[in-house]
Structure 1
Amino acid sequence: MVLIRNIHKSFGNLEVLKGVSLHIQKGEIVTIVGESGAGKSTLLQIIGTLDKPSTPEKYHSIIEIDHLPITQLRDKELSIFRNQNIGFIFQFHQLLPEFTALENVMLPGMIAGKPKVELHKKATELLKYLSLAHRLEHKPGALSGGEQQRVAVARALMNDPKVILADEPSGNLDSKNAEDLHQLFYKLRQEFNQTFIIVTHNTHLAEMADRSLTMKDGTVISS
């Protein structure tokens, strides 16, 4: 599902990623752990096409998602691919405060140009599946932290992505909501064969994963 090979990333003279290679299978839940500054979030952003590796021609870098070499796509093609194939879950939810839960979930589909009636139906189904049927018309400010994160999960699922990337998804939740979110990831994998790559400092979540990769100083040192 996700193949990356010899990925480097530098910011000026600071080399953040130093030849990272990974292969993640469809339906696998993989966590990436390590100290702050190890390069975890940078790697996740590159996999998610939000950033690009440094001089891929020099290092013969490869990034493939579902066998498509995304390093060869132009910016507009990347934007379309990202919208249709990658779901994102962030620590601070990134919900638009002026939109309802339902509208926030519909956004990826609206960007993709799908019919509004279809989007309304799909977003409603997702929120009901995540036990938020009673919160459809509530704005983020009226939702608890756990509810906001479940809305963010529904938004990530809206376009049926091939892979979901999560950056500290439970880092802003209390222990009960964090555990509920972790169990939700496994439920989604079981029912939809969803693939997850999760950057986390949560030891329990890391231990639950199919594989946990440890990064240090811009490289993967163990799995």
Structure 2
Amino acid sequence: MIEAKNIHKTFGALEVLKGVNVTINKGEVISIVGASGAGKTTLLQILGTLDKPDKLADLQLLINNAEVSKLKDKELAKFRNEHIGFIFQFHQLLPEFTALENVCIPAFIKKTPKPEAEKRAKELLDFLGLAHRINHKPNELSGGEQQRVAVARALINNPSIVFADEPSGNLDSESADKLHNLFFELRDKFGQTFVIVTHNEELADMADRKLTMVDGNIVV
């Protein structure tokens, strides 16, 4: 599913990632933990193709057997849209659009016909308990509801991998617990792989594997 070798990332004189090696299998729920500044989010962004690692001769980043580090920007954007979903701490919903419209955006980028995209979006929102909220805009939804809309948006194109960066960091404890359990329900129902950066120890310990980052590398 994901095979990353010798992942380095520097910003000026600061070396944030120092040769990370990691393998993630299909259907796993992986948590990545560590102190602030350890490189967790940078690694997540590189694995998710939102950022690029330093170009080194022995660099390798395979996702679904595609060497994504060698893709051109347009090819990479297409690959990302079709294979990867993202969930962020701050849901990043567009305020002028309804829940249904927000969920459909990645499908429209993929050029999925509108009736098909809306049908899939309604199915996801129904599964997430939001069938009665599809026409509401983000400011009319609770924090937990907004984050579930963001989850539906991440799933709309049936990605094989979902990356989540502090997905429950902005939620109350009850909403966070529901979201954590939801990840495992989704894995069991749809077979997605989840890679989750979190400071939430409960969520981290629920994962199939917990990877700990220290000073730019994985130590566990």
TM-score (norm 1): 0.98
Residue from 160, 166, 172 that aligns with 1:174: 172
2:46 corresponding residue in structure 1: 46
What SS class does the counterpart of residue 96 from structure 1 fall into? coil
User: Aligned residues: percent identity?
Assistant: 63
Structure 1 moving runs of 4+ over 2 Å: none
Rounded Cα–Cα distance in structure 1 between residues aligned with 2:14 and 2:139: 39
Residue from 146, 152, 155 that aligns with 2:153: 155
The reply to whether residue 184 of structure 1 matches residue 182 of structure 2 is yes
- Partner deviation per Cα, 1:22-63 (whole Å, 9 max, x = no partner): 000000000000000000000000011111001233xx1110
Rounded Cα–Cα distance in structure 2 between residues aligned with 1:193 and 1:122: 17
Q: Which runs of 5+ in 2 are unaligned?
A: none
The reply to whether residue 207 of structure 1 matches residue 205 of structure 2 is yes
What amino acid is aligned across from residue 92 of structure 2 in structure 1? Q
Give the paired residue count. 220
Rounded Cα–Cα distance in structure 2 between residues aligned with 1:114 and 1:193: 22
Rounded Cα–Cα distance in structure 2 between residues aligned with 1:147 and 1:117: 24
The reply to whether residue 37 of structure 1 matches residue 37 of structure 2 is yes
What SS class does the counterpart of residue 77 from structure 2 fall into? helix
Q: Which runs of 5+ in 1 are unaligned?
A: none
Cα RMSD between the aligned structures?
0.6
The reply to whether residue 87 of structure 1 matches residue 85 of structure 2 is yes
- Map residues 1-223 of structure 1 onto 2, 5 A cutoff: 1-57=1-57, 60-222=58-220
- Partner deviation per Cα, 1:131-167 (whole Å, 9 max, x = no partner): 0000000000000000000000000000000100000
What SS class does the counterpart of residue 219 from structure 2 fall into? strand
Compute the displacement of 1:190 (Å). Answer: 1.0
What amino acid is aligned across from residue 86 of structure 1 in structure 2? I
Rounded Cα–Cα distance in structure 2 between residues aligned with 1:118 and 1:56: 42
What amino acid is aligned across from residue 147 of structure 1 in structure 2? E
Rounded Cα–Cα distance in structure 2 between residues aligned with 1:123 and 1:55: 38
- Partner deviation per Cα, 1:91-133 (whole Å, 9 max, x = no partner): 0000000000000000000011110111111101110010000
Rounded Cα–Cα distance in structure 1 between residues aligned with 2:150 and 2:173: 18
What SS class does the counterpart of residue 49 from structure 2 fall into? coil
What amino acid is aligned across from residue 144 of structure 1 in structure 2? S
- Partner deviation per Cα, 1:41-93 (whole Å, 9 max, x = no partner): 00000011111001233xx1110111111111000000000011000000000
What amino acid is aligned across from residue 84 of structure 2 in structure 1? I
What amino acid is aligned across from residue 79 of structure 2 in structure 1? F
TM-score (norm 2): 0.99
Rounded Cα–Cα distance in structure 2 between residues aligned with 1:218 and 1:111: 34
What SS class does the counterpart of residue 196 from structure 2 fall into? strand
What SS class does the counterpart of residue 53 from structure 1 fall into? coil
Rounded Cα–Cα distance in structure 1 between residues aligned with 2:21 and 2:11: 19
Rounded Cα–Cα distance in structure 1 between residues aligned with 2:118 and 2:39: 38
